[in-house]
Structure formats: C-alpha cells, structure tokens
A and B are shown apart, each in its own frame.
Chain A
C-alpha cells in the first residue's frame, strides 16, 4: 500500500483529497506547511507528495527544492498559478508533474496513479535494444506494442508510425507536412490536414488531460514534439 503526503494550507482541500485517495486504497499523511511536510518526510516512508505552491511560510516550490536534496519521491504540484513561469520553475526544482486549481478530482487520481507506477518501475527493466521509451511510454518495435506505465495501449498503424517517429527524435518539432512526408512516404498534397487529427487521437490515448499534454506537446503554429520534463 502506498502512502501519499498531502501538503496544503487549506484544510477542506486536504480533507477532500484524503477522501478520494483513501477511497482508492492509498494511505494518507497530511501537512499544512512546507516545514511540516519536510518533517513528516523525515519520519515516515512516503511514496508520493501532493504539494500546494501558495502556502504561508515556506512555499511549495521551496519545499520541493529542499525535499529533492534528500529524497527521490515523486512530487505533484497543485497550483492556482496557471502562469507558465511557475510551472517551469516547479518542474525545474524537481517536481514531476503539476495540476492547476480548480482541479478535477479524477485528474488528480489519474496523475497520482501514473506517477506511482512510474516510481515503482523506476530502475526496473532496462529497455531492450528494439525498445524505444520516454516518460513512461515503452514501444517494442518487434512486437509492435506500446505500453504506458506498464499498461498496453491500442494504437492504429498510423498512430503507431507517428509515435515511433516522435519517439526516435525526442524533443524535435515536426510540422504536419514533415510528419506526413515521413510517415506516409508521400508528397503532401493538402492531405497533411489529417495529421493533426491523428495526433489528437494519439494524445487522447497517451495523456491524462489531452488539452494540457505533458508528453506529446503541440507547438502551436510550428508542429508537434514528444518530450519528457523529467529526463
């Protein structure tokens, strides 16, 4: 059984999160401040931390940075700040994911599950030669299967080809035209309009919140890229 530490200065939010998480079968520890959270982490074995950013005293970003000095535990930031800078700062100091307030409880649960699976698999099997992997996605090019955090996901052949192209070039931005040329092996003749649709489908299968993708990102006006914040 996993223990999850909830760190938020708002007691009602802590309470609600506890109800959801215990219902899913997780054990829960609670902290109202960053200092308290760090103290609990020293005392008790914690498998995942849900950390609010805006707290009196020590804020969540500082607490995450301090926590990272001693622990490798996954951290999901909960933030009312939807500014990109805050997200980037949070991820830079060592957070693994983030959720913006007001959040959907189901999304929280999904992200907790994903991070825990990843944490459990961390340092597990070394990828085989024919395997491509990134941010929990593992593609076995011989068996033609794709798993996400160990769970197999069904992809159409086109989606599979697009994903393989992106997996082979992590971080690189491909425009619709390029993807079309490389995957369909054909000159684009106003048929590249189908690429965004396939990408959208792929995102729906890979991402918890397709509108705010963490892996398969849309670079608006330029193309698409596959990237993991945690290398």
Chain B
C-alpha cells in the first residue's frame, strides 16, 4: 500500500480513472435524474409524446400561431412560415375552422402538454418521423434515445462510478505530495495555487458558454460535437478540481499551504517594500533630528563654555534687550495691544524662571543642611535642573556617598576588631584557667621535697601575675580600640568619689594612708559611664595604695569648672620618679625600674583610654614626689 502511495504511475492512472468515473457519474446521474422526473420514460418508446419533442415544437409553434393570428385579424395575407422539414402544424380560428394545415401522412402529434392558443386561435404541433440527419430534431431524437435506452442502467451506473470516484479520490488525497523520501513538494505542487483557480475558471467559462449555446436549439444539430465539447469542458473542470484538491492536500501535508501563492508572494514583497520605506523614513528623520540637535547642542556648548558670570550677563542682557524691543513696540500705536501682551508674557516667563531657579537653590540648601547634620542618605533629585546647579547637586550626592562608604568601612573594621579581641581573649584565657587551676591543685598535694615546694610557690606567683596581665591586656586593647561599649548617663561625681573612697577605706588604712575628700556641696553631675569611671578610679587608687609613701595623706578633690568638672588625686610617692609623667601612661611602663611589685604596667594606659572613650581626659603631673592625677570632664 505504501509503495502504491509513493508510486507516480499509480497516481497518474488513479487520476485519469477518477476523472473518467467522475464524468461518468455526473452524466449517469444527470440521465437518471432526467428519467426520474420525465413521464413516459418507463413505458413504450414515444418520442412525439416526450418533453424533448414538445420543447422542440414549442418555439416553432408559437411562431406559426402568431403569424396565423395576425394575418387573420388584421386582414393581412397569410403566409405560412417555412417550417423545418420535421415540423408540421394545424391552426384553427375561434370557430374551429382550419386556417392552416401542413401535416404529412407520417406526422405524429406532440402530446406532452396542452395545445397552444392566442385569443381563441389554437394550434396543434406535429413532428414528422423518421428524422433526417443534420436536422435539429435529429439531435433531440438522439438524446431521447440515449436517455430512453439507458433508463434502467443510469442509476446503478451512477452509484458504482460514484463509489469508484470517491475511492480513487481518497487514494489521490492520501498520496498527494508523498515521495519515497517523505513529504516533498515537487512538480505541479510548486506552481502557484492561483493557476488552479485560473484553470477552473477557464473550464467553467467554456462550459457556461457551451450551455448558453445549447439554449439555441440549433446546436443540437451538431449533437455529437456538442457532446464532445461539453465532455471536454467537464473533463477540464474535473482535472482542475482534482489537481487543486491534490496540491492543496499535499501543501497542507507539507505545512504552510499559503506559501506558494501569488497573493502571498505579492503581500511579502509589499511588506518588504513598506518596511524598507519605513526604515528609510526613520533614518531620514533621525538625520534631520541629529542635525537640529547638533545645531542646538553646539550653541549649548558655546554657552556652557562661557564662565558663569558671562552666562548670567548674557541671560540678563537678552532678557533686557527683548524687553526693550517690546517696549518700543508698545509705542507703535497700531499694534500696541499685541506688543503689550507679549511684554506681559515675557515678564511672566522671567518671573517663572527666577522662581524656578530659587526653588532649585532651596532644594540644594535643604540637602546641604541635611548632609551637614549627618544624614548621609541625602540624595537630590537632579532631574530638570540647571546644568550648573545639577553639577553642584551631584557633588553633594557624591560627598554623602563617599561618607557612607567610609562609615561602612569603619564599622566593618570595628566589627572585625571586636571579633578578634573576643577570640584572642578566649584563646588566652582557656589555657590560663587550666594553669591556674592545676598549680592550685599542685599546691595542695603533699610534697616532701622542699625544693619542689619552692618551685610551686614560684609557679603560683607567676601564674597569678600572668592572669592579671592577660586580663589587663585584653582590657587595654578593648579600651584603646574603642570596642568597649559606653553607656553614657548622668553620673554624680561626688557620690562616685565617696563610693570609691569607701571601697578603698580598708586598703588605705592597711597602707597607712589617710584619705582627704574635698567635694563641693550638693551634686556634681557629668555625663559618663559610671562603671568605666569606676575602673579608671580603681586603677588610679590601686597605684596610690601601691606607690604612696606610708603615713601621708591622699587628697581626693572635686572642683567644678565652667564646662564640667575636674577630679584630682594627689599623693606623695614613696620612690623618686625619674621619668616624665607622659611616659607613665605608655603601656608596660612602670614607676619602679626594678619592676619588683606586681602589676602589669597597663593600669594608667587603660585609665587614659577609658577616659578618652568617654570624651574626657586623664592628665598626670609630677612635682618632685607629688604625684597628681586629674580626670577632666568637659
């Protein structure tokens, strides 16, 4: 089956057969329909009684009747018409008298319908058989014979041929466009679709012409020729229809059936042309636009290149000049109203321009103020700004952006520092905890060896020192890096000083020192972090207890200043201090060169860092043996 579908020979054969059977079907169907409606076809052969005979007689009979009637009523002489050899008639007047009679002995009456009549004149038609070849009636007789003889076979023939036609048509549709290599459009499938329409139209026109000709009965004289021509026309139409159906099927199968049509081709080219034109129009417009823009830009650049002062002068000068011209115009009495209107318009525009510039300046001022106040998220909407002001606005934005960046950078590094200190502190403290704990455990063991006991003593002392040192170191790095969080709140320095003195009361007594408090009446409140402040005082007082000469007084004074307060600690040093006071605040610097006392040498450094964190200041003064530490709050 597939082979057959792909074969060209089978297709050509099928096409021809389909055409043949199709035409046969049409002819047989027409005959069957005619036979069905025509009476007398199922009885004896009777041509004279058939509709075809009547049809033949009809026109000739009217003709004869008219002539007879007029000749009788208007007194004209009767000339009987010269009828065809095969036609005869009898005409009677209203009284029944025979006016004309051309009958022959072999004439047979035409009985299909009633007689012909005009105002009482009646006619009877007759045909003379047998008919000679070449006459019109001969065609009628031949047609009648075909229809009569085939009356039984027409219907079955039509059905059988119809079925065959349909089957062949289906086969053709299925095979259309197929090749052994798949669906491919070759041969007549490549022709534009319209050609089939043209073929169809041509064959249709020929058929129509033929049918019109057939209506003139004379054609039936050439009956076989007419039949052949009609068959050819029908075959042409059938072929055109079949080919069109096949190629349509093939094109549908291949997809995009509209591609190979003249209409599509034309539309495509039209579309291309339109697009091309469109593009060029745009290009042209673009050129023109660029030309205009370039011109104005050139002027703009020229103006922009001028210094700001010149620009202002130019703008103002132009305004004044226009004004002057218009004022002169007003003096012209003919068009004074018009010029006055223009003048008003110009001055209004000037006012608007001034307001516009002022608004922009205001915007810039607001942004600048916000920036100065520390709002780094400032942005200025530079849309529709004068170029000069726009530049300024962009500079402002850039400043805020840069500052935001710097602040972010700073915060990042702060976070990093905090993390580092936390981790290092943890990593130092964990082993230290073990050391301290195990030395303590070792101390509790019963060891006979006196030497070992002494070593353990050293270990104990040094591990305690290491502990203090580590804690202070972490503290110092926290304080100096600013990682420590400061909770600033109102702090009463008088209370703080009393609390500190209370904390140290016993240690002062043990060191043989006498504290002397000099505080003003009432409260003395500053803004600081109380706990950090206590750490500062703690560190300072530890030093006092450690280094002051026993039997002396320690002065703790608080004095109010205009902007804040000064808290000072004074004591007499036990040892002579040979180093500058500033150096004492450096890390790991200690007053005693021997470094025999315990301590990390970080106390003053931490104190200073903490004071600075809180926005205060630590000042040390050495006057001989007098050691003075001042906490300055502003």
Contacts and interface: CB of A to CB of B under 8 A. Distances in A.
Interface of A: 10, 12-13, 16-17, 19-20, 54, 80-85, 101-105, 175-177, 192-200, 218-223
Interface string B511-533: 00000010000000000101101
B430 interface: yes
25 contacts: A10-B433, A13-B430, A16-B434, A20-B441, A80-B425, A80-B426, A81-B426, A84-B485, A101-B430, A103-B433, A103-B436, A104-B436, A105-B441, A175-B492, A193-B498, A193-B501, A196-B499, A196-B501, A196-B502, A200-B502, A220-B491, A220-B530, A221-B491, A221-B534, A222-B495
B184 interface: no
A48 B267 CA distance: 94
B491 A102 contact: no
A80 B430 contact: yes
A193 B430 contact: no
B470 interface: yes
Nearest to A17: B437
A200 B506 contact: yes
Contacts of A221: 491-493, 495-496, 499, 528, 530, 533-534
A80 B534 contact: no
Contacts of B471: 82, 102
Contacts of B531: 220
A196 B499 CA distance: 5
B429 A80 contact: yes
Given A219-B530, A221-B493, A176 B499 contact: yes
Contacts of B467: 102
Nearest to B535: A220
B625 interface: no
Contacts of A200: 502-503, 505-506
Nearest to B418: A83
A13 B426 CA distance: 13
A19 B430 CA distance: 17
Contacts of A54: 426
Which are the 6 A-B pairs with shortest beta-carbon distances?
A196-B502, A221-B491, A220-B530, A16-B437, A221-B530, A221-B496
Given A20-B437, A196-B498, 15 more contacts: A10-B434, A80-B429, A81-B426, A101-B430, A101-B433, A102-B429, A102-B432, A102-B436, A102-B470, A193-B517, A195-B502, A220-B499, A221-B499, A221-B530, A222-B530
Nearest to A199: B502
Nearest to B435: A102
A193 B422 CA distance: 38
Contacts of A218: 499, 534
A197 B498 CA distance: 9
B117 interface: no
Interface in B285-312: none
A186 to B, nearest CB: 17
A103 B436 CA distance: 8
A170 to B, nearest CB: 20
Contacts of B528: 221
A84 B496 CA distance: 20
Interface residues of B, number: 37
Interface of B: 422, 425-426, 429-430, 432-434, 436-438, 440-441, 467, 470-471, 474, 485, 491-493, 495-496, 498-503, 505-506, 517, 528, 530-531, 533-534
Contacts of A83: 422
Nearest to B538: A211
Contacts of A175: 492, 495
B426 A19 contact: no
A195 B499 CA distance: 8
A176 B495 contact: yes
A16 B438 contact: yes
Contacts of B496: 220-221
Given A16-B437, A105-B437, A196 B503 contact: yes
B498 A195 contact: yes
Nearest to A194: B502
Contacts of A13: 430, 433-434, 437
Contacts of A223: 495
Given A80-B425, A193-B517, A105 B505 contact: no
Given A101-B433, A193-B498, A222 B470 contact: no
A81 B424 CA distance: 10
Nearest to B502: A196
A219 to B, nearest CB: 6
Given A218-B534, A221-B493, A19 B499 contact: no
Contacts of A102: 429, 432-433, 436, 467, 470-471
Contacts of B425: 80-82
A128 B181 CA distance: 110
Contacts of B502: 176, 193-200
A91 B533 CA distance: 25
A60 B436 CA distance: 22
A144 B502 CA distance: 26
Contacts of B437: 13, 16-17, 20, 103, 105
Contacts of A80: 425-426, 429-430
Nearest to A218: B499
Nearest to A193: B498
**Considering residues A12, A13, A19, A220, which has the most beta carbons from chain B within 10 angstroms of its beta carbon?**
A220
Contacts of B422: 81, 83
Contacts of B485: 84-85
A129 to B, nearest CB: 34
Nearest to A85: B485
A22 B93 CA distance: 161
B426 A12 contact: no
B235 to A, nearest CB: 97
A92 B503 CA distance: 29
B196 to A, nearest CB: 85
